[in-house]
Amino acid sequence: MDKLKCSSFFKCRGKEKVSASSENFHVGENDENQDRGNWSKKSDYLLSMVGYAVGLGNVWRFPYLTYNNGGGAFLIPYAIMLALAGLPLFFLECSLGQFASLGPVSVWRILPLFQGVGITMVLISIFVTIYYNVIIAYSLYYMFASFQSELPWKNCSSWSDKNCSRSPIVTHCNVSTVNKGIQEIVQMNKSWVDMNNFICINGSEIYQPGQLPSEQYWNKVALQRSSGMNETGVIVWYLALCLLLAWLIVGAALFKGIKSSGKGVMFTALFPYVVLLILLLATLEGASIGISYYIGAQSNFTKLREAEIFCSPATQIFYSLSVAWGGLVALSSYNKFKNNCFSDAIVVCLTNCLTSVFAGFAIFSILGQMAHISGKEFSQVGKSGLDLAFIAYPEALAQLPGGPFWSILFFFMLLTLGLDSQFASIETITTTIQDLFPKVMKKMRVPITLGCCLVLFLLGLVCVTQAGIYWVHLIDHFCAGWGILIAAILEIVGIIWIYGGNRFIEDIEMMIGAKRWIFWLWWRACWFVSTPILLIAIFIWSLVRFHRPNYGTIPYPDWGVALGWCMIIFCIIWIPIMAIIKIIQAKGNIFQCLVSCCRPASNWGPYLEQHRGERYKGMVDPKTEADHEIPTVSGSRKPE
C-alpha cells in the first residue's frame, strides 16, 4: 500500500518508455504488447478467468443457497439474474481492461473523477487475499491430516470432551426413588443417575444435541479456537506453516507474471472438475436423498412468490463472477487488442454457473449419504461455508469406506479452487504496480511479487492465532460486502451514464468488429437500466439485512466491530479523496474542473498506436504521460 502514500501517485509525472528486454520475464518476443506482455495462449487466459470466477463459494455457498431457497425453484431466478446483472457486468469489465490494456486503477483514465473506484477494488482485493489464503492453509492442514489409516476426526478421542457424540446426549431423565416408604418419580441429572446407579425410566430421557467429532476436531485441534476475539492466544504453529506454504505456492506460480500463472492454471482450473465427478460417482444409496433436497422432488416452487429468492441469486451471481474486484480488468488487460472478449465473457460466465450446479450434485450426494448413514434429517447435516467444508463434509467422508482417500481428494480440490482465485487476486495487485511503475516492475518483477507475498503472509499471521477464525469472519463480513457493491454501482454509472454507453460500445466494436444494432439492444437495456437498478436493489437489501457480526453464538467485541468499520471505510474513502484531488488538479473554475474530470484523460484509448485508428489518433501516448493527467475542458482528442 506504499504506492498510495507516494506523492507521485497524485501528481503528473512523465514516464520513460521501457522496451522489452531479457530482464523482463513478463514479455515474450511474439507478444503484441512489448511493454506489458500478453497471454501466451488463449487457453491460459480462459482458464485463468474460469479459475478466478470458480472459487470456494461455488462449492460451499451455492448448493446450500439452492437448498435453502426452494431447490430447483432457485435456478429460475438464478438464470434471470445471470442474464440481467452478472453477464453484463462481466462483459463490461473484460472489454474495459482489454481495450486500454491497463489494470483496475490506471484504466480510470476513462473517467479521472472515478479513479478512486479502482483503488477501492484493489484495496478490498488485498484484504480478501489476506484471509483467503488462510482458508487455503486450512485446506492444506486437513489434507496433510488425512494421510493416516483412519481420519483423526472419525471418532471422539483424547482431544474431545463429554459433549462429543454423533447421537443426542441424555442430560436428564426420570427415576423412581423411595422417600420415607413412598415411591416417587423425580427428574434428575443424568450424571447423578449414573453415579448413584439408578436407571432411567424408558421414554423419560431429555436430550441435547451432541457435538460431532469433526466439529470438536475443527475447534479444539485444527483451530485451537479461543473463547472470543478478545483472547488472541498464541500463533498456531502448524497453521502458520501451512499459510507459509500456501504463499510459497502462490509466489512460485506468479514470479514470472502471467507467463507462469497461465501454466499453473492448466492444472488448478481443471482438477476440481475431475474430483467433483469422482465424488458424484462414488456416492451410494443415500445420494438420492441429498439430490431430492437439492433440485429434486423436495423443491419448493412456492418460494418464487417471496422477494428473497430473487435477492439471494442476484447476490450470489454478483460475488461468484468476481465482478468489481479488479481481477477481471487486470487479467483481460493482457489480451491482444482484437481478442473476442464477448465470446470469452459468455464462455466463462456459463462455465461458472454450470460448475455451481454441478458442484451441488456432488456436495449434496455426499451429505445425503451422511443423512442416510446417521439416520438424521437432512436439515441437520446441510451446512454452508466453513461449516460445510471443515465440519459436515469431513464428517461425511469419515463414514465412507476409504475415508482418508476421499478426504485427501476433497481438500486437494479445495486447495486448487482457492489457488486459482488467489493467483488472480495477486495478479491484480502486481498489475496495478506494473501500470504505476513500469520501469521498476520490468527490472524487479520477481522481488516485488515475492515481497508482496511476504507482506501479505505477515499480515495474515493474526488469522492463524487462536482467535484467527474470528478475524477471518470479521474481514469477510465487512470488506467483501458493501465496498464491492459501491464500486460496482459507481463503475457502471461512470462508464455507461457519464462516459457514455454508446461511446463505450464503439470502443468495443474497435476490438470485436462492428455489430448490428439488434446485437447491442440487450446490452444497452442491461447497462443503462436493469443492471444498475439491480445493483442498487442489492445494496439496499444488504443494508436492511445488516447485522452485528458474530461467530456462532459468540458476539464480537465493540472494538472488533469498530475495526471492521475502519477497514471498509479505509477502502472506500479513496473514492471521494481521489475525486477531490482530480478536481483540484484541473484548471478553471469549479464547474470547468468538474466537467474536465468527467471527460476521458488525454491518454485514454488503445495502448498501442496501431489500434487507435481515426477515433483516437489525437490521444497522447500512454507510455510517455502519467495516467492521471487531466485534459482541458475542451479535450485534446478529436470529438466523438
pLDDT lower than 70: segments of the chain = 1-29, 180-181, 262, 283-286, 307, 372-376, 378-384, 623-640
Identify the pLDDT of residue 640: 42
- What letter would DSSP give residue 608? S
Within 13 Å of residue 503, how many CA atoms lie on the same side as its CB?
Answer: 17
Task: Name beta bridge partners: 207.
Answer: 170
Which of 105, 68, 169, 229 lies closest to 556, judged by CA? 229
d(CA 525, CA 521) in angstroms, rounded, equals: 6
- What pLDDT does 26 receive? 54
Measured distance CA(627)–CA(436) in Å, rounded: 8
Q: Does residue 202 have a known ligand-binding role?
A: no
Please answer whether residues 361 and 294 qualify as being in contact, where contact means their C-beta atoms are separated by less than 8 angstroms. yes
- For the chain, the residue count is 640
Residues 346-403: tens digit of each pLDDT: 999 999 999 999 998 888 888 777 776 666 676 666 666 788 889 888 988 888 888 9
Residue 154: CA atoms inside 13 Å, Cβ hemisphere, count? 16
Residue with grid cell 497522447, as numbered in its chain: 620
Give the Cα separation of 98 and 330 in Å (integer).
Answer: 9
Residue 420, annotated as binding a ligand:
yes
- Angle CA(275)–CA(281)–CA(283) in degrees, nearest 5? 105
Specify the DSSP element, H or E, that contains 555: strand 554-555
Short-list 111, 502, 529, 513, CA closest to 342: 513
417 is in an annotated binding site: yes
Is 58 assigned to a binding site? Answer: yes
Burial 543-569 (b: 16+ CB within 10 A, else e): eeeeeebebeeeebeeebbebbeebbe
Burial class (CB in 10 A: 0-12, 13-18, 19+), 634: exposed
- Report the alpha-carbon distance of residue 111 to residue 599 in Å, rounded: 6
CA distances from 180 to 177, 183, 200, 272 (A): 10, 8, 21, 70
Supply the DSSP string of 448-465, one letter for each residue.
HHHHHHHHHHHHHGGGGB
Tell me how far CA of residue 134 lies from CA of 26, 204, 236, 244, 410, in angstroms.
28, 46, 12, 10, 17
pLDDT confidence of residue 29: 67
What's the N-to-C CA distance of the chain in angstroms? 37
C-alpha–C-alpha distance, residues 571 and 582, integer Å: 18
Q: Coil, strand or helix: which one is 326?
A: coil
- The C-alpha cell 491430516 sits at 145
Longest dimension (CA), the chain: 109
pLDDT of residue 382: 64
pLDDT of residue 618: 85
66 near 295, Cβ under 8 Å? Answer: yes
pLDDT in tens, 440-494: 888 888 999 999 999 999 999 999 999 999 999 999 888 877 888 899 999 999 9
pLDDT at 10: 39
Domains and CATH numbers, the chain: 42-156+218-585 (1.20.1740.10), 168-209 (no CATH)
Cβ 312 vs Cβ 65: under 8 Å: yes
- As a three-state string, the secondary structure of 91-109 is HHHHHHHHHHCCCCCHHHH
Q: Which three cell numbers stand for residue 118?
A: 479502482
Residue 51 annotated as binding site: yes
Residue 602 annotated as part of some ligand binding site:
no
For residue 296, how far is the Cα from the chain centroid? 28
- What are phi and psi for residue 175, nearest 5 degrees? -130, 155
Measured in whole angstroms, the distance separating CA 387 from the mean position of its chain's CA atoms is 17
pLDDT for position 409: 93
Helix, strand or coil, per DSSP, at residue 145: helix
* Cell 475447534 belongs to residue: 219
Cell of 208: 441435547
CA–CA separation, 59 vs 384, rounded Å? 9
Q: Alpha-carbon distance 538 to 393, whole Å?
A: 31
Strand partners, 179: 182
Grid coordinates belonging to 550: 458474530
